[in-house]
Amino acid sequence: MKSLLRLKPYLWKYRRTLFWGLLTVVASNLFTVVQPLLLGRAVDELQRGIISHVLVSGDLLAIAGMIVGLSLVAGLFTFLTRQTIIVVSRHIEFDLRNDLLSHLQRLPHAYFQNTPTGDLMAHATNDISAVRNVVGPGIMYPTDTMMTLVMVLSLMLVRDWRLTLMALIPMPFVSYVVYRLGRLVNKKFTERQEQFSLLTTHAQETLSGVRVVKAYVREEFETERFRKLSWDYLKKNLVLAKVQSVMWPLMFVLVGFSLLITLYVGGVQVIDGRISVGTLTSFVAYLSMLIWPMIAFGWVMNMLQQGAASMARLAAIFDTEATIRDSDATDRTVTTIKGAIEFRNVTFTHAGAASPTLKDVNLSIAAGMTVAIVGYTGSGKSTLVNLICRLYDTSAGDVLIDGKDIRTIPLATVRQHIGYVPQETFLFSDTIAENIRYGIDADGDAIVQEAADISQIAADVREFPNQFETTIGERGITLSGGQKQRTSIARAVARHPRILILDDALSAVDTYTEERILHRLRSFMSGRTSILISHRISTVKDADLIVVLDGGQIVERGTHEELVAADGIYADLHRKQLLEEQLEQM
């Protein structure tokens, strides 16, 4: 339950509305608890009229009118309660969901490498809904319950304290049952939510990889896997439902005992003439009013336990530290960069890895240079450029931009001036224009057109029925691999970045189109820094500097001619590609 204390800032934000909501709860109860007194009075009037054979109908009508009037006023305040407390719960749900997404976007790249997307989706849906129940009904019903209990018990004690105490004998058992079952509900709800995360993750992966599933004819296999996960989720739901179903009958039984005691003891007192029939009637009415608070108490405990379990899961995310962020050392006066990059004795090790991915890397890139990075698969090329974007921070050594430690430059400034096209291109389910425009605030079509011309995607787009307004589907599914890469390059170029990083971003493009893209990029990036990662020698041969990585270390550097003459790894790659070209021509 301690996890629910994390909601205090959200509740404080809406404290005024909640205060008025609580006042409406008090007002609603005040106008409700008076009604049994009037009912008892009406019964006594009716009894006297029957005994004396003189029934004053006007008095009864007046009492009935007062009961109806009080019910209407109580109903109005109940409506206002829902319009305040329940509406606030929806606002808190909105804020909590936005805060969760905002926090997730600040978390380091490594966090998402180890956390399934489906798991995060479960947090953003089921868990937040469970927490919303706590700050809505979870506040409204306990307040209503406590007010009803205090007011009703006070009036019952004033009317007949002995009868009241007799009627309350079963109530301690109610508290014990709620406590025991509440702990069990918390445990079973947590297990259910964890299973829901597994189910969501599998569904997300299957739908995202549907083309692979179809290509390997694994539809039945994936359906069976989903059925098993769904069956486990069903079983955990049924276990939770069984635990919850025990609570309601117990509440009714225990409250029923109170009603039985009241009718028996009160009936004896009526026969003995110690209390009137009207007093007993009001007592029964008051006891009936206590039935809902007792039941609501169990229901609210259910919600609180579920909300606490969900909030604990959300708290685990909120407590995950955003390790890559601005700090006290950040110089916020830096608002732009020129593009000079330097690696000083840089070593980087992925979390949980047995050995470093990069080892003692030293590299200086002047502003405006075009630098190419080549090497065998797994040599650390992508990791090296990820350090420039601060997707990772170094384990040892320093990365400098314009002579300043990258950790002292505002993170937003670094990334705003970098155009990055990663190996795995990602496009949003939107129009081509919106995908190209994604990294900029401007809405002008001229920027989109210019970027599309440079990346050589413009000619393809003009053949589409809606041209740049063509919606490309999830992850750009309607485009070919080369078209997706060129659209991603256009998105990076549209930012007019000081540093452009292409991480094997031309692998799906034919050599003729590649040459045209590189030619346009040389002109566009003149005076800006370009970093190219590629396995193709044709992509990198015209770079000002070519760096060869092997085993996380720089083993060669120089121009194309110098590296070919050195007869090392680069020359070996060059010979193999020349041989492949000759074989293709044959």
The CA-based dihedral angle spanning residues 298, 301, 303, 306, taken in that order and rounded to the nearest 10 degrees: -130
pLDDT at residue 233, rounded to an integer: 86
How far apart are alpha carbons 300 and 312 in whole angstroms? 18
CA torsion sign for 553, 555, 557, 561 is negative
**One-letter-per-residue 3-state SS of 348-377:** ECCCCCCCCCEEEEEEEECCCCEEEEEECC
419-496 CATH: 3.40.50.300
Q: Considering the domain 325-417+500-509+527-586, what is its CATH architecture?
A: 3-Layer(aba) Sandwich (3.40)
Note whether 2-318 and 325-417+500-509+527-586 share their fold. Answer: no
pLDDT at residue 64, rounded to an integer: 76
Sketch the domain layout of the chain as residue ranges: 2-318, 325-417+500-509+527-586, 419-496
Distance from chain centroid for Cα 146: 34
How far apart are alpha carbons 485 and 360 in whole angstroms? 32
One-character DSSP codes across 170-227? THHHHHHHHHHHHHHHHHHHHHHHHHHHHHHHHHHHHHHTHHHHHHTT-HHHHHHHHH
How far apart are alpha carbons 397 and 343 in whole angstroms? 8
DSSP tag of 474:
G
- Paired sense of beta strands 341-348 and 396-401, if any: antiparallel
How far apart are alpha carbons 92 and 21 in whole angstroms? 15
pLDDT at residue 130, rounded to an integer: 79
Quick one: 102 exposed, middle or buried, by C-beta within 10 A (0-12, 13-18, 19+)? exposed
Q: What number of helices (H) and strands (E) belong to the chain?
A: 23, 10
Q: Which residues of the chain carry a pLDDT beneath 70?
A: 1-2, 40, 43-60, 118, 174-175, 178-179, 182, 208, 211, 247-248, 291-292, 294-299, 302, 442-444, 473-476, 580-586
Closest by CA to 530, choosing from 520, 543, 519, is 543
Class at the top of the CATH hierarchy for domain 2-318: mainly alpha
pLDDT at residue 261, rounded to an integer: 79
Residues ≥6 apart with Cβ < 8 Å to 228: none
